[in-house]
Structure 1
Amino acid sequence: MSKDPMQRYAESLEKTIQHNYSHLKEVVEDFKGLCLVVTPEKHTPQDIIVDIRELYKEIRDRLAEIKAIQQLLQGKYRMYYRRDSLRDKAIMEFGFLTKNLYSKFEYILLQKQALTQKREEETSRAQQKGFHFQWFRSRENQIIFVRNLRILNELDYEAPSDLGIEERREVPQEKIRHLTLFCLKGTVSTIDEVYSRIRLREHDIIEQYAQGELHGLITHLREVSPVDVENVFQRILKSGDFSKLKGLLIPIRSPKDLEGPLFDSAKKTLDEMEEGEVKTLRFPKNPEISDFTD
């Protein structure tokens, strides 16, 4: 005996609900996994953000379709409809879970946006104050930087740098000691690894300036050729883990060397560099510095 057309249609609607339910069980798990990757502290790739939003839209569309079919079955086709209470409960939980996860995801993005805006404002204020406020974000590091500039001829260290640059404790008073600023830029994971492995001395500085970017300062007790410093950083970058980093060095012999748009020049130079490249920023218009960096 053939089935009533209305019964056959009701059964097709039921199959659509079951199909959507089975698909949602998989998609919701994927959605949950992606949302848990997004945290305020870590960088979130744009493709993950796009995937989360697309998955959420798909989930909402399928939930809306299920709800519309259920209303139809409970009305016009109620005599052919048998509710599955366990399935209905699971579908409802999918809705609550995904809504909460998505709300948290969007909140974290707002936090990141606020943090970025705050950093931009800090950078803007720093540009008005001076180079040491631009090169380091940490107030403590800014103070150390200024102090090192003021007492270049009064510093003394207990041991050579782990970077391998040879220096002596017996420093002739006529020798002019100097600083080297450095910036390393690359992927977030690589920079995190470098930061955890580099060991500097008491008056040296290293700071995670931004995601995927380190800023630092090395204080020299005697004259060290920029070529020697550059070679040290080249050896670091030749390591398999760090071969795609960019390294920019800025030799400083006097606070006067920080005058002018040095920070902007450093940013522009770094952006133009290739992966794996180490470069020393030159000062061709300053004879004292050009002699030092050639």
Structure 2
Amino acid sequence: MRSKKHDANAVEAIPHLDTETYHHLIPRSSAQSRLSSGDGFYTSNALHTFEKGLQEDRPSGNVAVLMETNTSAVPNLVPIVLHFASVLGPNWPIVLVTLESTWVVPESPAFRRLMDANQIRITYLPATTNISDHHSVSVFLTEPWFWEQFVSSHRMLIFQVDSILCSKAPMTMEDFLEWDLVGAPITVYGIGYNGGLSLRNPRLMLDIVNDPSVSLGPRDYEDQWFYARAQERGAHLPNTEQALKFAVETTYYKTPLGYHRPKPFQGEHWDEITEWCPEVGLLWGHRFTE
């Protein structure tokens, strides 16, 4: 894969992210699935049945992932990425997943410095990728390719340019690593957690999409679909109160770590939100009308 000027290092193979270690995961029923709570190592019936093999395959490191097919059309992309890099810290490399045909390295010196330091990395979507609406995004995320890129990571944070982290929050992303899936609770409009700002176990996600006995329905949203499948497998999931400490969208909580699309759903609390998390101002470059 060729890279453009200034991002030669950025598209190199991401440390701990490979496409080999997932091959020992095989589809199985929920009764066959098991989860070792605490260490977050999602296991299944495997070719590697001895402990040494499991230890060698144990995932390590965390990663934050933003997927945008046309970055030049997103006015707040640079400040959002820089903000997430700052709040998450150096142990969370940020991977921007985009189309090679549309990618142009931003002029921002701060952005380029983090690229040079390999803190921001670029990887390219398959050229034929179409994620133009909610359903196409859900279809894409329920196919193996995306999760295969990150399967060796312990946890991956998925974020969008309409999400934000709050630097005043007493909790950090590390406080939520025990969960296999967590996001802003969406009990008002559905079940589970919103996927736009969500922390996930990529091995569990890949195991789910590789299971031929389950499939995405034409009206399903990927986040609710993954939540239901994770429940079936006995994954380690937070309750609503615990998840609200992670993020807020449709259900209000005063001091979360982050927000996803706060303006459309929490307008009545906007003064409190801006006092707690002034960084929501970075979202003004994104359309709130969607």
TM-score w.r.t. the length of structure 1 is 0.24
Q: Whose helix fraction is larger, Structure 1's or Structure 2's?
A: 1
TM-score (norm 2): 0.24
Hey, which of these two has a bigger chunk of strand by percent? Answer: 2
User: Greater RCO between the two (CA within 8 Å, min separation 6)?
Assistant: 2
